[in-house]
Structure 1
Amino acid sequence: MIDRMSDDFGLARPSHLKSRSISAENPTGLPGQGARATQGTGEEQSRDLGQGWKVSPSIVLPAGSVTELAAINGSGIIQHIWAAVRPEWWRRLIIRFYWDGADEASIELPIGDLFGLGWDVFTLFSSRHVMTAPYCGLNSFWPMPFHKSARITIENIAQEDTFLYYYVDFGAGDIPEDSMYLHATWNRSNPVADGIHTLLDVEAQGKYVGTFLAVGVNHPGWWGEGEVKFFIDDDDEFPTIAGTGTEDYFGGAWNFELPEGGYTEYHGDRMGMHQVIKPDGLYQSQTRFGMFRWHLNDAVSFESSLRVTVQDLGWMPDGRYLVRKDDIASTAFWFATEPHASGTTGLTYENLLVGSRP
């Protein structure tokens, strides 16, 4: 199915799909139901204007709550998601997507990582599937088809309420029967144990289509020598695909280092290192990085299983490799023929917030 077209991994967007959008101004997404609110987060500001004048531009996410953002019945494809929420909430809000009535979420991760942003730090960047805009405008263009229904929830794990502005733009209507389901798996190792961080370990049929990696170095020295490996189907000890270094997988080379020294951000449609967060001289004493790699033309196909890992590897002063113990959080994007649990691990309050801003 996904080989049928090159655009968006072959996921067709038929012209007959009906345009719909779910937001705080139209929580059902039904035709003619937008901007009808008489109460909402903007009712004080619109008190002189009344209904139809931005009465409900956002929603409140109560502390410790799970809020349903969208419930769509029938088939279609989510084409764009926009959200706006302050950076300090990006690992305090857990977003989940459920396809076709599944009990377990196929996408489950902190909201910032869905949009390629780690460390509760805003960064401008643009790519094929994710882009950010001033200030804290978060955009996802990952195609998300569904056959029977789609449901999105968000959990506020913090002890304070917050506001969320959002759109879920989708096309409603028939989609190809063999359209696969998007999944996103988040995992964090802090510190990485035994030099290996696992991005994905799943039994399914599908295609691996993207990686977001947030790396926080826990001690000085070069951190990106480790290979990214894809263990496909019957692979056991040795993988089918083995890279030559972390920076190589993200399109760079030789430590990402410029001739004059130091790092610089870069980003394009397919890959980038869009976050180079320098030490602040106080609590954040080490540099932190954010990198993405979208497999637009080189999705990794698997028939029965896939395991994806990256080594946490650097150098010793004498030129030997050094197994490090850094802080790595990863998001793996993959399509599968059936809805599956995302395989997310480590979504505890402590694991999400360790290393975040004080």
Structure 2
Amino acid sequence: HAQWRRERVTELARDYVVLDGVHGRGAYIGTYLALTALESRWWGEGEVKMYIDGDDQYPTWCSTGAEDYFGGAWSFADFDEHGRMHEQTFCAPYVGFPFYSQRLASHRESAYWDVNTPVTRGLYRWHIPDPIYFEHDLRVEWQQIGTEEGGNFERQDDVASVAYWYQLEPHAPFDPIGDRRFRQPR
């Protein structure tokens, strides 16, 4: 199964929902996340959370942050000859950061540390070697937290995702994905 979702502007102090409404038995096997920064500063501090089999307030499985979850600890960093840090794309068998575009986000407010360079990013994580098993239900969320010189802060960005999972039949019906105009980039 696969489920696509998008929030053109995520809600402040509320986690972005990657997957919800899954009832039955199965295994979560992957996440693709597309992020266009609407705010400046680093975007990757928020945790990916798996609420499994009735979890309510606290998830059974929780990452240490999006940059770690998608395999790019230390900000997907590469340094130039002047010591300036730049995000670096990469592809590996189970994690990756294959898409980075300043052109697609050219009308956005910001990106990394520089307000004048907005960026759209695409990241993936396959849970093939470490599937997340569930017996009754599953909800996956991403905490929208960034960081700046003064510490961490709640963010609002344009986020889309696709969640992938295997599930035994029968399963509950899924919500429709919305009309075509909503799904297209701005």
- Asked if these proteins are the same fold (TM beyond 0.5), I'd say yes
Letter in 2 for 1:353: Q
Q: How does 1:16-27 map to 2 (within 5 A)?
A: none
Q: 1:198 matched to which residue of 2? A: 17
Report which structure shows greater RCO (CA 8 Å, sep ≥6): 2
- The 1:281/1:312 distance shift into structure 2, 3 A limit, reads closer
RMSD: 2.0
In 1, Cα distance between the equivalents of 2:91 and 2:45?
Answer: 20
Match of 2:147 among 315, 322, 331: 315
Question: SS in structure 2 opposite 1:254?
Answer: coil
Percent same amino acid at aligned positions? 37
SS at match of 2:71: coil
Is it true that 1:334 corresponds to 2:165 in the alignment?
A: yes
CA contact (8 A) 1:207 1:299 kept: yes
Report deviation, 1:249.
0.4
Q: Give the drift of 1:344.
A: 4.8
Give the distance between the partners of 1:283 and 1:207, measured in 2 at CA: 39
In structure 1, the partner of 2:112 is none
Give, as a single letter, the amino acid of the residue that structure 2 aligns with 1:216.
Answer: T
Residue 257 of structure 1 aligns with which residue?
A: 77
Superposition pairs of residues 259-298 of structure 1, within 5 angstroms: 259-260=79-80, 261-279=85-103, 282-283=106-107, 286-298=118-130
Return the alpha-carbon distance in structure 1 between the equivalents of residues 150 and 107 of structure 2.
Answer: 31
Q: Given the two structures, how large is their TM-score scaled by the length of structure 2?
A: 0.84
The 1:184–1:244 alpha-carbon spacing in structure 2 relative to 1, beyond 3 Å, is same
Q: Which runs of 5+ in 1 are unaligned?
A: 1-182
Partners of 1:280 and 1:353 in 2: CA distance: 13
Q: TM-score, normalised by structure 1?
A: 0.45
| 2:5 counterpart residue number | 187
Distance 1:255 1:304, change over 3 A: same
Which of 30, 50, 53 is equivalent to 1:233?
53
Work out whether residues 23 and 171 of structure 2, in 8 Å CA contact, stay in contact via their aligned partners in 1. Answer: no
The answer for the alignment partner of 1:98 in structure 2 is: none
What secondary structure, in the 3-state scheme, does the structure 1 residue paired with 2:182 have? helix
Instruction: Give the deviation of 1:269 after TM superposition.
Output: 1.2
4+ residue stretches of structure 1 with deviation over 3 A? 279-285, 339-346
Structure 2 residue identity aligned to 1:209: I
Confirm or deny: 8 A CA contact 1:188 1:345 kept in the other structure. no
Preserved contact between residue 42 and residue 148 of structure 2 (Cα < 8 Å): no
The residue matched to 1:351 in structure 2 has which SS? Answer: helix
- Structure of larger gyration radius: 1
Q: CA deviation at 1:283?
A: 3.9
1:342 deviation in Å? 6.6
Secondary structure of 1:248 counterpart = helix
